[in-house]
Amino acid sequence: MPEFAKLAAEMEGSGVKFLALSLEPDVELVRATVKKWNLPSLPIAIAESETLGPLGVNQVPATIFIGSDGVIVAAVSGEKSGAFLRRRVQELLAREKQLK
């Protein structure tokens, strides 16, 4: 999660948006985690586990990439490095730019 938050901060102003989903129903526990990891600017939403199936995710953590048209363009399961996430975002932005 810290790598995800770091990338979100780096890409602020680029048009790319980041949203973290937590399956933890205890809002106070989620808030404590946000504070512990120093993630105050990362938006986090509480999700039901049933939410993940339609998103193409079968385990957490997972990262879902959604194009500017709202269509899911990729999903990866498991914790990924900041370098992986950065590279993937840049690839998808380049592909989306070519399609326009």
CATH, residue 81: 3.40.30.10
Question: What CA–CA distance (Å, rounded) separates 80 from 65?
Answer: 13
Q: What is the sign of the dihedral through the CA atoms of 38, 40, 46 and 49?
A: negative
pTM for the whole thing? 0.71
Domain count, the chain: 1
β pairing state of 72-77 and 62-66 = antiparallel
- In which domain, by residue range, is 32 found? 2-94
Q: What is the sign of the dihedral through the CA atoms of 82, 24, 57 and 18?
A: negative
* Residue 99 falls inside a structural domain: no
pLDDT tens for residues 16-74? Answer: 888 888 888 899 998 898 888 887 777 888 887 777 777 777 777 778 888 778 888 88
